[in-house]
Amino acid sequence: MDAAKQLAHAREVGIKTGMVLQKRLRNAQESYSHRVQETIGGAATGPATSLAGMDAMSGYAYAVDSMQRALLFWDTLRQRGNNFVENAMQGLKPVLHFDYETELDGRQFARPVNYALLKIKPPDGVTIDDSRRPYVIIDPRAGHGPGIGGFKDDSQVGVAMRAGHPVYFVIFFRDPEPGQTLLDVCEAEQQFIKKVRALHPHSAKPAIIGNCQGGWAAMMLGASDPDDSGPIVINGAPMSYWSGAWSEGEGDNPMRYSGGLLGGTWLASFTADLGNGKFDGAWLVQNFENLNPANSLWDKYYNLYKKADTEPPRFLEFERWWGGYYLMNREEIEWITQNLFVGNKLWSGDVKGAGGKAFDLREIRSPIVLFASMGDNITPPQQAFNWVVDVYGSTEEIKARGQVIVGLMHRSVGHLGIFVSGKVAQKEHAQIVSVLKSIELLPPGLYGMMLHEHKSDGGVEYEVEFEEHSLEEIASRLNRFERVDEKPFEAVATLSDFNQRAYELFAQPFVQAMSNEMTARVLREFHPLRLQNWMFSDLNPWMAWLKPAADAVRTSRQALAPDHPLRQQEQTGAEMFSAGLDAYRAVRDAMTEYTFFNVYANLFPFLSKGEPSVRVSTPVTTTPRDLPEVKAALASVGQGGYAEALARLACLLNRKGEPLPLSRLELRKELVTDYADLLPELAPHAWRKIRGQQELITRYAPEQALETLPALLRHQADRQRLHALAEKLRTDERLLGANPTAEQAAMLERIRAVLGSGPERVRGAAVPLTRAS
């Protein structure tokens, strides 16, 4: 790009980012003003309230109450510090709510890793059926420890066990094994899955649940070992890290900009070198805390102070997990930052396993469920879903490969709520468990999972439906800017590679020479997040008086009612302070976005040809019929046998444009089980692949699909088998009373004419065939 074009481009970027900055600053100001007015308007500030607040006895009572709450507050922080010290001395244990036993310890493997496979023991009153599909849950290794997927009774572990499934949990220990890499971890997890299959040889393949970073692990596991992996559920997993921009403005997800503003991946390497080859996960937790300063610095502590009599147990339970910081090897954090965060390479095929074979997510043969939330500012929906657009070029390719992908969207819950919230566990995760019973029988395609709530005297019930979507429709709905805002991230990747190489050449030798285990431990212990824990523990002699004082307060507590005027004024002041911190965050994020795009959108044209080296999928410009997957399917229109004929009949008689209720899917599963001797003996993935190819044929060449149907049933044995299946379905009580649509009835007449069936035979089979399809 010549100088004139570069100046014009810089001016265009400056104008556009300036307009977006103004809009976001205006939104921040309006949000702050609205919250302040709402807080003041909702506070009891009338004359009576003011007089009550000025009453000497009320003032004295409030002073006693506030001082007592302060002592209870600081004593809770002291308990948190003691818990932190005790957990650290014990090496940090999983925060699982359930008892467990260790099945495999990765530290004993030929290539040792700090991972282990646990079998969760059912609590009293819960019965496990070992013949049912086992669940394997993988928690994120993103600074914190494992166990959040089984943190409480209403959790992923809890809902799966209450449904009767055996549950296994993949944990990791605080300290990584020497030389351990992420590829070693992937191989260890393959051994875990094989162990689970060996423990349940007569069960369906294990379902793999991946939370956040655990979602990468689950997808890599499914791609590298598709023969042993069952359905995969990834919750809040940032698979396509460059994506974002969901609602107001062009970048509502500030974490995706951090790599660029920090100069790329070199800082992770520098931090690991300061740690004598180990990266301190507390820095990752610090990034999460910085995302929401109002909560990190004020809200959670004021809530503890406000509810000092009741909040400490919940606060301490959560802080036990939030305050446990784990370590990674340099090789692990560099692999993550270079391949995933900055490189965005997981879906592109550039990431290779230990054997040198690239991870191809299209090799996954089991259904995939993607759970994301619109309220998640760490993993926005685009990061959870856009990899599908990048890996599969079209809806037709998904069908041709026999893949089933189901998306579930929550409207408001935050990132941690996806894994921690009891309400989410009772609703979304419980329904996901119910879906996985039958999801393998969904025809290939991309689906949205919808939950309809029905309240009654007996409680709340949920009805599950699946609505099929096109990949192009979902991509346009998620990405309002057609992913143009992702192009500057290519400049980030290029600059990151340069800075990484410069650091390795000029600085890394000196940093490594100055670091040793003692300096690394000192740096870790004095990290601000650790410091705030142990500094307020019994290790600090100045805290010795606090426990007796707090115990005395508990015996003579003089609590004011929450609706006391002075308590309400206190609440108003706290809300005002919180609003100020939220306004600061909004301005900071707006400036972060503005700075990022002004730097990297202007650097992007200097790259070779101005094109990204990592592919970003764009909408298909050719007609669907010209796609290679469709051409290949149409070329095989007259090829196949009984399996292809049955799949084609199902496609021709399918109810088009209607949501598919879970009840119909479960009925289909029952029929498949009951009439297995009359159905093709195929693995689920092989059947879905045939079904997807036949759907392409019936969609793009319906007349030819009908004309060639007899060629698929050329053998008399196949026709007799089909007739026997239809007769059994006709008399099945579960299908009696079902009526075909007008479109299905017309198609049945055409099928009868093509196959030359007798009128009684086809008329009797008409209704059950339509329901069974």
Q: Which amino acid is at 532?
A: Q
Alpha-carbon distance of 401 to 366, in angstroms, equals: 11
Residues 119-132 have a mean pLDDT of 93
Alpha-carbon distance of 399 to 377, in angstroms, equals: 32
Alpha-carbon distance of 419 to 341, in angstroms, equals: 21
Kind and range of the H or E element at 101? strand 100-105
pLDDT one-digit tens code per residue, 512-550: 999 999 999 999 999 999 999 999 999 999 999 999 999
3-state SS class at 71: helix
For the cut 90, the answer to whether the pLDDT of residue 43 exceeds it is: no
Strands (E), 307-359: 327-329
For the cut 60, the answer to whether the pLDDT of residue 51 exceeds it is: no
Alpha-carbon distance of 450 to 565, in angstroms, equals: 45
Alpha-carbon distance of 17 to 22, in angstroms, equals: 9
Percent of the chain with pLDDT over 70: 92
Alpha-carbon distance of 260 to 341, in angstroms, equals: 10
The CA-atom distances, in angstroms, between 392 and each of 309, 360, 619 are: 54, 11, 11
Last residue of a domain, one of 459, 481, 503: 481
The CA-atom distances, in angstroms, between 331 and each of 31, 178, 338, 635 are: 43, 10, 10, 48
Kind and range of the H or E element at 167? strand 167-172
> What value, to the nearest 5°, has the Cα angle with vertex 693 and ends 689 and 695?
115
Last residue of a domain, one of 450, 481, 512: 481
Domain count, the chain: 2
Strands laid side by side in the 404-410 sheet: 100-105, 115-120, 167-172, 135-138, 207-211, 232-235, 368-373, 404-410, 445-456, 459-469, 660-661
CA 96 centroid distance within chain: 20
In a domain, 225, yes or no: yes
In a domain, 390, yes or no: yes
Kind and range of the H or E element at 650? helix 642-652
Asked if residue 369 lies in contact with residue 234, where contact means CB atoms within 8 angstroms, the answer is: yes
CATH number for position 112: 3.40.50.1820
pLDDT one-digit tens code per residue, 306-363: 999 999 999 999 999 999 999 999 999 999 999 888 988 877 777 777 777 788 899 9
> Residue 764's pLDDT is what?
41
In a domain, 382, yes or no: yes
For the cut 60, the answer to whether the pLDDT of residue 433 exceeds it is: yes
In a domain, 193, yes or no: yes
For the cut 50, the answer to whether the pLDDT of residue 249 exceeds it is: no
- Where do we find the tokens 């084609």? 648
> Residue 698's pLDDT is what?
93
For the cut 90, the answer to whether the pLDDT of residue 660 exceeds it is: no
Alpha-carbon distance of 362 to 399, in angstroms, equals: 12
> Residue 116's pLDDT is what?
97
For the cut 90, the answer to whether the pLDDT of residue 80 exceeds it is: yes
Lowest-pLDDT choice from 298-312, 320-334, 432-446:
432-446
The CA-atom distances, in angstroms, between 467 and each of 407, 663, 665 are: 10, 14, 13
In a domain, 641, yes or no: yes
Higher pLDDT, 456 or 56: 56
The CA-atom distances, in angstroms, between 277 and each of 342, 703, 753 are: 21, 65, 74
Domain of residue 367: give its range.
100-247+341-481
Q: Which amino acid is at 22?
A: Q
Per DSSP, helices labelled H in 349-411 are: 381-391, 395-400
Kind and range of the H or E element at 453? strand 445-456
Assign 467 a pLDDT band (cuts: 50, 70, 90). Answer: very high
- Report which DSSP code applies to 133: P
In a domain, 45, yes or no: no
Last residue of a domain, one of 481, 507, 524: 481
Asked if residue 284 lies in contact with residue 143, where contact means CB atoms within 8 angstroms, the answer is: yes
Q: What is the pTM of this model?
A: 0.91
In a domain, 155, yes or no: yes
Alpha-carbon distance of 192 to 196, in angstroms, equals: 6
pLDDT one-digit tens code per residue, 87-111: 999 888 999 999 999 999 999 999 9
- Where do we find the tokens 């000192």? 522
Assign 614 a pLDDT band (cuts: 50, 70, 90). Answer: very low
Task: Return the closest-CA partner of residue 347 out of 384, 402, 396, 394.
Answer: 384
Helices 56-89 and 546-555: angle between axes, nearest 10 degrees:
130
3-state SS class at 285: helix
Q: Which residues contact 545 (CB under 8 A, 6 or more apart)?
A: none
Alpha-carbon distance of 398 to 388, in angstroms, equals: 9
Q: Which residues contact 256 (CB under 8 A, 6 or more apart)?
A: 241, 242, 243, 244, 383, 489
Tokens of 131: 């013949």
- Report which DSSP code applies to 131: T
Give the DSSP per-residue string, 678-744: GS----HHHHHHHHHHHHHHHHH-HHHHHHTHHHHT-SHHHHHHHHHHHHHHHT-GGGTT----HHH
In a domain, 329, yes or no: no
Task: Return the closest-CA partner of residue 118 out of 193, 152, 156, 168.
Answer: 168
Residues 176-189 have a mean pLDDT of 94
End-to-end CA distance of the chain: 57
